[in-house]
Amino acid sequence: MHTPPDTVPVVIIGAGLAGLTVALHLADTIPVVVLAKRELTEAATAWAQGGIVGVLGSDDSIDSHVRDTQDAGAGLVDEATARFIAERSASAVAWLVDQGVPFTPDDDGPLGLHLTREGGHAVRRIAHAADATGKAIHDRLLSQAKVHPNISLKQRWMAVDLITHRHLGPDAPKRCHGVYALDIDSGRVETVPARAVVLATGGAGKVYRYTTNPDTATGDGVAMAWRAGCRVANMEFIQFHPTCLYHPQERSFLITEALRGEGGHLKLPNGDRFMARHDPRLELAPRDIVARAIDFEMKKHGVDHVWLDATHLGEAFLKEHFPTIHARCLKLGIDIAKQPIPVVPAVHFTCGGVVTDLDGRADLPGLYAVGETGYTGLHGANRLASNSLLECVVLGRTCAAHIGASARSAAPALPAWDESQVENADEQVVIAHNWDELRLLMWNYVGIVRTTKRLERALHRIDLLKSEVLEYYANFRVNRDLLELRNLVDCAELIVRSALMRHESRGLHFSRDFPETLPSSFPTLLIPPVRQA
């Protein structure tokens, strides 16, 4: 029995900026279902502090933004993609303003906005809402989605796997038809047909022990697309944000790039500034350079953190421009107006992902990936600060436009989820143990500085973990922890295999065995086996 096309929704997996942008642009004409595996407020977007790029000022230009993106991306940025997104940055920011996002105002600024500057940018071009831009954007768009009659928001629902032509028989045309989704509260896996599926699940930061990412960042979209037969690219380029707060009570709190953009200084415990030894741009060098510099100085001097000193900026300025950071640090006994902030690098962003075009289309018809889940060539070997939120809005809009313009067809009958051969899990501790082991080995062997031997050791252990996880998956009913671990193991393997393929050091990938940067290079492309399960 086929389902009439007008009643089949677009299913969006992920309720962050990318997913909500797609949903809000589609919902006036097409029913939309948004799945969030935790609470709706827990998307990574809400954790973004700095802001969103907008080429708005009279001192700025599309060419300047493209150059900065290419420079940060260390020779692997697709120029056409960077230009496409830069050209649409002003309209993306204007759309958010129209939605009522409360950006920090400036009567003399373009669109009445205050623009700040971050590392790698030639000029001030970052629209922001104090130092909690992501939360301001996410709160506003989520409030609109909640009241839209054509958007169904399902929290605590997690995608298990995509439903594709492989589930329909050997002669079925290649296509994504929906998703198997776990209702976490009931434990039931439902069959959810879809006119199109949009992967907007964010990155894979939780594959590492220390990360600025929320608990949702387990690489779900990348892993599901890979298992469904889609290509992924550039997974070796994992961005370590240079400045994560170093404190036993706060392991994931980001100290925004904008604090350095406004004049914060990186220092050793003895008070010496050190960035001049690493890059003439000092604290405003791109993130990969600053993170490696901090890592080098920590190892050289045997210290477990460095200092970010903003005391010279003054208490009034810090309270006005960085109220979230000021308040959070003060609760921990750190007055940033009087004391430097202890910081360390931590995993922040996945520059690679599911290969898509500029409409978000993946290799499988009916499947899209937007935001950190996707790979378009924008970020190259290192993402430029605040290009992430911009990418979510620009490609979220083009993705929605493509889905809206695509021909509708009746949805085929889809097979139900089969759990007749499994039983309830007996030892949840196995999942917790394997999760901890995976994150620790990735941190120790696949970190800021890599060697071939470390990568090979990591891959060997990942292969063993993968076999254990798949055996567990085959024999027991699924739950969120198991599904996340399964996805993280897949992403870890993709990261390590990509790193082993790159015989040079470039951007976020630095190898002691291949310390030079080749004169020319190409993205790392992984193609799944023909019969990938």
Angle among Cα 142, 147, 153 to the nearest 5 degrees reads 60
Tokens representing 488 are 């993280």
Helices 387-405 and 79-87, interaxial angle, to 10°? Answer: 90
DSSP code of residue 99? T
Is 23 within 8 Å of 145 (Cβ atoms)? yes
Q: Which residues pair with 33 in a beta bridge?
A: 11, 152
**What size, in residues, is the chain?**
533
Instruction: Tell me the CB-side half-sphere exposure of residue 12, using CA atoms within 13 A.
Output: 33
Angstrom distance (rounded) from CA 347 to CA 244: 9
Looking at the DSSP bridge assignments, the partners of residue 369 are 199
Dump strand ranges (E) for 388-495.
449-450
The beta strand positions in 64-138, using DSSP E, are 115-116, 126-127
Whose structure tokens read 């004049």? Answer: 263
CA distances from 226 to 220, 255, 329, 370, 463 (A): 10, 33, 40, 15, 16
CA–CA distance, 182 with 524 (Å, rounded to integer): 33
Kindly state the tokens that stand for 319. Answer: 């309270």
Where on the phi/psi map is residue 418: left (φ > 0), alpha (ψ -120 to 50), or beta? beta
What confidence score (pLDDT) does residue 533 get? 41
Q: What CA dihedral angle connects 89, 92, 93 and 99, to 10 degrees?
A: 180
Contact 403, 10 (CB under 8 A): yes
Give backbone dihedrals phi and psi of 104, rounded to 5 degrees, phi first: -65, 125
Output the CA angle 263-347-285, nearest 5 degrees: 30
pLDDT value, residue 250: 77
Q: How many CA atoms lie within 13 A of 405 on its CB side?
A: 7
Distance (Å, whole) CA 15 – CA 222? 16
303: number of Cβ within 10 Å:
15
b/e 201-222 (16+ beta carbons within 10 angstroms → b): bbbbbbbbbbbbbbebbbbbbb
Retrieve residue 377's tokens: 């060539």
* Token pair belonging to 434: 């394997």
Asked if 96 and 53 touch (Cβ cutoff 8 Å), the reply is: no
DSSP tag of 273: B
What is the rounded CA–CA span in Å between residue 100 and residue 357? 30
Set out the domains of the chain in order of their start, with CATH numbers: 1-235+351-405+425-518+526-533 (3.50.50.60), 238-348 (3.90.700.10)
- Cα 365 to Cα 474: distance, rounded to the nearest angstrom: 28
**Residues 385 and 118: beta-carbon distance below 8 Å:** yes
What 3-state DSSP class applies to 318? helix
Residues 445, 33 contacting (CB under 8 angstroms): no
Of 217, 199, 156, 161, the closest CA to residue 439 belongs to 217
Residue 516 in 3-state DSSP? Answer: coil
Q: How many CB atoms lie within 10 A of CB 58?
A: 7
What's the pLDDT score for residue 425? 67
Distance CA 419, CA 417 (A): 6
Residue type, 237: F
Q: Print pLDDT tens along the chain (533 aa).
A: 444 456 799 999 999 999 999 999 999 999 999 999 999 988 888 777 779 999 998 999 999 999 999 999 999 999 999 999 999 999 999 999 999 999 999 988 899 999 988 878 999 999 999 878 989 999 999 999 999 999 999 999 999 999 999 998 888 899 999 999 999 999 999 999 999 999 999 999 999 988 888 889 999 999 999 999 999 999 999 999 889 999 888 777 889 888 998 999 999 999 999 999 999 999 988 888 898 899 889 889 999 899 999 999 999 999 999 999 999 999 999 999 999 999 999 998 999 999 999 999 999 999 999 999 999 999 999 999 899 999 999 999 999 999 999 977 777 889 999 877 777 766 677 788 899 999 999 988 999 999 999 999 999 999 999 999 998 888 888 999 999 999 999 999 999 999 999 999 999 999 999 999 999 999 999 999 865 44
Q: Can you tell me the distance from the alpha carbon of 43 to that of 15, in angstroms, rounded to the nearest whole number?
A: 6
287 is catalytic: yes
Pair of tokens at residue 281: 């741009």
192, HSE (Cβ side, Cα atoms, 13 Å): 27
Whether residue 257 contacts residue 124, with contact meaning beta carbons closer than 8 Å, is answered with no
From the candidates 287, 450, 454, 506, give the one annotated as an active-site residue: 287
Kindly tell me the burial class for residue 477, based on how many C-beta atoms sit within 10 Å of its own C-beta (0-12, 13-18, 19 or more): middle
Which pLDDT score, from 0 to 100, does residue 2 have?
A: 44
pLDDT at 187 (0 to 100): 92
